[in-house]
Amino acid sequence: MIKSQDVFRVFEPHRGKAIVTTSGTSGRNWPDASKNPERDISMGSAMGQTTSAAFGLALGLPDEKIVLFDSEGALLMNLGVLASIAGKQPKNFVHFLLDNEVYATTGGQPVPNNANIDYAGMAKAIGYASTHHFDDLEDFATQVEGIMAEEGPVFVSIKVVPEVENMPMGLRAQRKTRTRPETIAALQEELGITG
Partner 1 sequence: MTADTVLKEKNDLVEQQAAILRPETLVDEFKKNGVTHVVTIPDSETNYLYELMVDQDWLDVIPISREGEASATALGLCVAGKVPVVLIQNTGMMESGDSIRGMALDAGFPMVFVVGYRGWTRRGVIRDSAAKYTEPFLNAFGLDYYFVESNTDGDRITTAFEQANATKRPVVVLIGDEYHGFNR
Q: Residues interacting with partner 1, by CB under 8 A?
A: 41, 43-61, 78, 80-81, 83-84, 87-88, 180-181, 184, 187-188, 191, 193-195
Nearer to partner 1, 123 or 187 (CB): 187
Shortest distance, CB of residue 66 to partner 1, whole angstroms?
A: 9
Nearer to partner 1, 58 or 154 (CB): 58
Among candidates 63, 82, 158, 70, which has minimal Cα distance to 124? 82
Q: How far apart are CA 50 and CA 180, in angstroms?
A: 12
56 half-sphere exposure, CB direction, 13 A CA radius: 7
Shortest distance, CB of residue 195 to partner 1, whole angstroms?
A: 7
Rg (CA), the chain: 16
Q: How far apart are CA 180 and CA 58, in angstroms?
A: 18
Shortest distance, CB of residue 187 to partner 1, whole angstroms?
A: 7
Shortest distance, CB of residue 68 to partner 1, whole angstroms?
A: 10
Nearer to partner 1, 115 or 192 (CB): 192
Shortest distance, CB of residue 67 to partner 1, whole angstroms?
A: 13
Shortest distance, CB of residue 47 to partner 1, whole angstroms?
A: 6
Nearer to partner 1, 53 or 120 (CB): 53
Q: How far apart are CA 61 and CA 32, in angstroms?
A: 26
Q: How far apart are CA 120 and CA 126, in angstroms?
A: 10
Which segments of 13-52 are extended strands (E)?
19-22
- Three-class secondary structure of residue 144 per DSSP: helix
Nearer to partner 1, 61 or 137 (CB): 61
Nearer to partner 1, 128 or 140 (CB): 128
